[in-house]
Amino acid sequence: MLHLGVNIDHVATLRQARYATMLDSPNAEPVLLDAARESEAAGAHSITVHLRADRRHIQDADVYLLKRELKVKLNLEMGNTPEILEIALKVKPDFVCLVPENRKEITTEGGLDVPSHAAALKETTTRLKDAGIRVSFFVDPVRDHMYASADCGADMVELHTGTFANAVGAERQAEVVRLVEAAAQAHDLGLQVNAGHGLTTRNVRDLFAVPHLAELNIGHSLVSRAITVGLRTSIGEMLAVMGEYPG
Ligand SMILES: CC(=O)[C@@H](O)[C@H](O)COP(=O)(O)O
Ligand SMILES: NCC(=O)COP(=O)(O)O
């Protein structure tokens, strides 16, 4: 069964639009924990949050609160920096997904360059795994990056689907081929295969040619759709489509 990790970053984006950095201030809405609970009630298998260095959406206190209150597993996305690593080691989420981060980007623009940063990634992965945290690498569907992820000790890869989501026609088909090959390689290397970024109920069926998928992490489209139909319906619609995955 294909699992859904609901990314609630952009619930916090709306809260931060009023700079409600004091999470107990009267204008700190929407309440992130309410969104997490709605997601759980809708059938989310895990909750994903990205604690960015610039704290543009998720705040440190959110991560501690979610870890304490969630019934489902917590997946923390983070750049490989000493500051965020120390927080991860204190919070002890169930999973960490290491992602590239660029302060000026509007959203995550691609996967980690694993071969170029192998030593640093390996060291962080070891520290996280020693703390009992399963580690995922957010990667583009590139052969070398699958091998390098396994070499660094990652348990999982999350295949970056942003290029897939932005492509149309033949370009999307070409990206699907890359994702199919990368998923097969990662699986052969013993890595759990996840995917995410830019996925919607309109494009996700095109991804179903990719084998071995265990989990999709989806946020922006679910939160956007929730504005008109509510989070439970939005997540329910996605889970219904994901139920068609043949794997
Ligand atoms: C790594 C990733 O794909 C998610 O974190 C996604 O980027 C949502 O967060 P942002 O929109 O802040 O990038
Ligand atoms: N890692 C991808 C993720 O968590 C959600 O990405 P998006 O659906 O918000 O683009």
Please say whether the beta carbons of 98 and 124 come within 8 A.
yes
Q: How confident is the model at residue 45, as a pLDDT?
A: 98
Q: How confident is the model at residue 103, as a pLDDT?
A: 79
Q: How far apart are CA 183 and CA 179, in angstroms?
A: 6
Q: How confident is the model at residue 88, as a pLDDT?
A: 99
Domain ranges of the chain: 3-242
Q: How confident is the model at residue 104, as a pLDDT?
A: 82
- Please report, in range form, the residues annotated as the binding site: 7, 9-10, 18, 52, 57, 107, 198, 219-220
- The single residue of 77, 101, 158, 175 carrying the catalytic annotation is 77
- Please report, in range form, the residues annotated as the binding site for 3-amino-2-oxopropyl phosphate: 7, 18, 198, 219-220
**Nearest CA residue ID for atom 4, ligand 2:** 217
For the chain of 247 residues, list the mean pLDDT of each consecutive stretch of 10: 98 86 71 97 98 95 97 98 98 98 87 98 98 98 97 98 98 98 98 98 98 98 98 98 95
Q: What are phi and psi of 136, to 5 degrees?
A: -120, 150
- ∠ CA(8), CA(13), CA(16), 5° rounding? 130
Q: What CATH architecture does domain 3-242 belong to?
A: Alpha-Beta Barrel (3.20)
Q: Which atom of ligand 2 is nearest to the CA of 48?
A: 4
Interacting residues of 245 by C-beta distance below 8 A, sequence separation 6+: 2, 208, 213
pTM: 0.97
Dist. CA 151 → ligand 1 center (Å): 25
Query: Quick one: CA dihedral 97, 147, 163, 83, positive or negative?
Result: positive
**ipTM associated with this complex:** 0.94
